[in-house]
Amino acid sequence: MSSEEELLAPPGAGPRRGRLHYELLGCARGGHHLVGQDAARIRPEDAMVVREGGGLRWHRCLRCDGWIPLPPPDKPGREHVPGPDEVDVPLRGKPLRDRYVLRLIALDRILHFAVLGVLAVAIFAFVHERQTLSGPFYRFVDALQGALGGRTGRTGTGLLDEVTKALNARPSTLWLVGAVVAGYAILEGVEAVGLWLAKRWAEYLTFVATTVLLVPEIYELSIRVSALKIVTLLINLAVVIYLLFAKRLFGIRGGGRAEARERALDTGWPALARVLPGSNLGDQ
C-alpha cells in the first residue's frame, strides 16, 4: 500500500491484522480519540496525528489508528496541533487488553460479593428469628442449590444438608458461619476493586484465592457432574492461567519487570510512532 493509499484508508485501517482489536471496542463505546481538530494550520511534523489531502484533514485516532476525514475548522481555537507533551495518549495494545480482561474478572467477583453478602445477612438474621424464618430459609437454600446444579431436597448430601446441620447448631456457631461467609464476601469485593483499578497486588490475591477454590470445585465434580460446575471450573482455570502467564506472576516469563517493559511499548507517544503507517518514525 502506497503512502497516499494509506492516507486515504478508511477508519480503522492500519498495519495490525489477525487479532482482536480491543482499540476498536473502545472507540465503538467512547468514540475516536482525535487531536488538532481546532488547529489553524497543519505542519509537516504533525503528520503522525494529522495530515491534509483532498481538501480535508485526516485525523489519526490515537487509540485505534484509524484515519478520520474532517473539514478544516471554521473558527480555529489554536495555531498548531498540540505536541507530545500536551497530548494524553489513551490506553492501547496490551494495557488496553488487560483492562478489558481484568475488569471482566472483576465483574465476576462483584457477583460473588453480592451473593455471599446476601447469604451472610440472611444467616445473621436467622440467628434471631430461627423458628419464624427456618421454613422460608430452607426453601430458599434448596432452590439456590437446585439452580446451581446440585441436588434438591434433604438427601443427606449437598448444600442444603450442610446448611441444616449449621442451623441446628448453637447461635455462636451460626455467628461464626456468618462471619466466615461475610469475610469471604469482603475478600471478593476487595479483589473486584483491585482488579478494576488494575492493581498488581489484586492480581496476586485473585490468583491465590481462585487457586485455593479449585480444590473443592474438583471435589464437587467428583461427587456429581453438572454443566454449571464444569463451566465454573473452566472459568476459574482460565483466570488462573491468564494471571499466571499473561500477567507474569511469581517471576514467570520475566516477572513484573518484563510486564512493565511490555506495557511501555504500548504506552504514550512512542507507541504511536512505532505503528505509524507509511512512516519510518517508529525506527527513530
- CA proximity to 67, closest of 29, 36, 30, 100: 36
Q: Are 98 and 231 members of one domain?
A: yes
Query: Is 209 within the bounds of a domain?
Result: yes
d(CA 117, CA 185): 6
Same domain (yes/no): 203, 110: yes
* pTM, to two decimals: 0.74
Higher pLDDT, 150 or 233: 233
Q: CA angle at residue 259 from 258 to 265, to 5 degrees?
A: 90
User: Which range of residues forms the domain containing residue 38?
Assistant: 3-87
Please give the pLDDT value at position 19.
56
Q: For residues 213 and 232, what is the distance between their CA atoms, to the nearest angstrom? A: 11
Residue 38 lies in a domain: yes
Does residue 170 lie within any of the structural domains?
yes
178 in the same domain as 202: yes
pLDDT at 57 over 80: yes
Mean pLDDT to the nearest integer, 255-277: 82
Is residue 83 located within the same domain as residue 98? no
40 with 20, same domain: the answer is: yes
Q: Which residue has the higher pLDDT, 3 or 132?
A: 132
Could you tell me the pLDDT band of residue 148, with boundaries at 50, 70 and 90? low
Round to whole Å and give the CA distance between 145 and 232. 15
Q: What percent of the chain has pLDDT over 90?
A: 40
Do 172 and 224 lie in one domain? The reply is yes
Residue 60 counted as domain residue: yes
Residues 172 and 74 in one domain: no
**Is the same domain home to 192 and 119?**
yes
Residue 139 pLDDT: 66
Same domain, 58 and 135: no
Phi-psi region of 116 (alpha: psi -120 to 50; beta: other; left: phi over 0): alpha
Residue 271 in domain: no
**CA angle (27, 32, 37) in 5-degree steps:** 175
Q: How many domains does the chain have?
A: 2
**Distance between CA 71 and CA 48 in Å, rounded?**
18
Cα-trace Rg, the chain: 27
